[in-house]
Amino acid sequence: MKDEKGLLPAVIERILVWYRGSRRSMPWRDDPSPYHVWLSEIMLQQTRIEAAAPCYRRFLGELPTVEALAACGEEKLMKLWQGLGYYSRARNLKKAAILTVEKYGGKLPDEASELRKLPGVGAYTAGAIASIAFGKPEPAVDGNVMRVLSRLFASEEDVLDPRVRRDAEEALRAVYPAGRDAADLTQGLMELGEVICIPNGVPLCDRCPLRTLCEAEKRGAQNELPKRSPKKERRIEEKTVLILTDGRRFALQKRAETGLLAGLWELPSFPGRLTAEETGRLLSEQGIAWDGIRPAGEAVHLFTHVEWRMTGYWIRLSGLPPAGLVFPDGETLFRDYAVPSAFRRYLDFIRKEFNEYGFSPSGGKGGVDPT
């Protein structure tokens, strides 16, 4: 995506004036140190601002420095990341923190090319840290910025095409300011995409500082842009989630160290969506003693490339849970184990049982008989 009409210098001036007059208050904007900018940008990659803000404060309260992050244990890190999803981001943060301590004495490098060598830091995040925290003339081009540019230039190019994105970065880099202007421009461009040139619904052109420059606005084409290649369909995985409990404790297992939700704790499950009878039969075949089973509801969870369709059962064990699983009580589970939000439906079910029954044995109510 190229600036064929040379609009960008005027765009930059207007965005700086607009941003300085209307910037929203956010916790990471109060003290934009490199660590704070880095942490906030990683948190915001797949999480809304409202959800990220309390996690950001909690995280910094526990891990106020790069050194503290580098030294943080895995379980604590996962717990601090709970609610944000995409846990590989937290693992990469820690790996990058260790590298920063070992190689740069605990201070993040100020060049985008060096920042990109850190795990989890791509072109966008490197540009954001370099410009916001260090005032370097480096653009940070994400989906928000691509949308604004696509409409501004009335570009028909596919904004998901890496070449188109690289061209947009080059066009911006050629005119990017330095110092405080760099920091404000990066944040202003993002903010314009978030609150004015919005992704869903009609953009608020009558409040946009770029209105008289914008080609899409002139042509009335805002709602047809940006162009995107169609997304690949998600693979559907069906599973039967098991709340295995003795009425007080709950079985959890650790996921594999690689792949989706790597290394996190989860409720055990069987593949496929099984009936209560099928579930009970399978448990018995595996030597798991139980004496009550009842439905815990249906749930769907969307990942980037996979969709989980789940059905769940509350299963009262009459013996020990299978080997290899941990069996914390309800309070310990919620306090110490980071179970991904994909299981929220069933964690809520456990919480509700706790509120109603205080984790006394209740699994057999309305259940089917063991087979």
Out of 37, 108, 196, 244, the only residue in the binding site for ligand SF4 (CB under 6 A) is 196
- With CB under 6 A as the contact rule, the residue among 34, 109, 139, 203 that binds ligand SF4 is 203
HEC secondary structure over the chain:
CCCCCCCHHHHHHHHHHHHHHHCCCCHHHHCCCHHHHHHHHHHHCCCCHHHHHHHHHHHHHHCCCHHHHHHCCHHHHHHHHCCCCCCHHHHHHHHHHHHHHHHHCCCCCCCHHHHCCCCCCCHHHHHHHHHHHHCCCCCCCCHHHHHHHHHHCCCCCECCCHHHHHHHHHHHHCCCCCCHHHHHHHHHHHHHHHHCCCCCCCCCHHHCCCHHHCHHHHHCCHHHCCECCCCCCCEEEEEEEEEEECCCEECEEECCCCCCCCCCEECCEEECCCCHHHHHHHHHHCCCCEEEEEEEEEEEEECCCEEEEEEEEEEEECCCCCCCCECCEHHHHHHHCCCCHHHHHHHHHHHHHHHHHCCCCCCCCCCCCCC
From the CB of 255, what's the least distance to ligand SF4, in Å?
42
- Confirm or reject binding of residue 222 to ligand SF4 (CB under 6 A): yes
Of 4, 13, 41, 67, which is the active-site residue? 41
Kindly state whether residue 208 participates in binding ligand SF4, applying the rule CB under 6 A: yes
Binding range to ligand SF4, per CB under 6 A, among 45-53, 206-214, 237-245, 282-290: 206-214
The region of 117-125, 202-210, 231-239, 324-332 touching ligand SF4 under the rule CB under 6 A is: 202-210
152 or 159: CB nearest ligand SF4: 152
Q: How far is the CB of 148 from ligand SF4 (least distance, A)?
A: 5
List the interface residues with ligand SF4, window 138-157 (CB under 6 A).
Answer: 148, 151-152
- In this chain, which of 53, 55, 101, 205 binds ligand SF4, going by CB under 6 A? 205
**Pattern of binders to ligand SF4 over 161-190, x per CB under 6 A?**
------------------------------
Q: Which stretch binds ligand SF4 (CB under 6 A): 63-71, 122-130, 195-203, 347-355?
A: 195-203
CB of 214 to ligand SF4, least distance (A): 3
Q: Would you call 41 a catalytic residue per the annotation?
A: yes
Q: Which of 172, 216, 288, 317 binds ligand SF4 (CB under 6 A)?
A: 216
Catalytic residues: 41
Residue ranges that bind ligand SF4, judged by CB under 6 A: 148, 151-152, 196-197, 203-205, 208, 210-211, 214, 216-217, 222
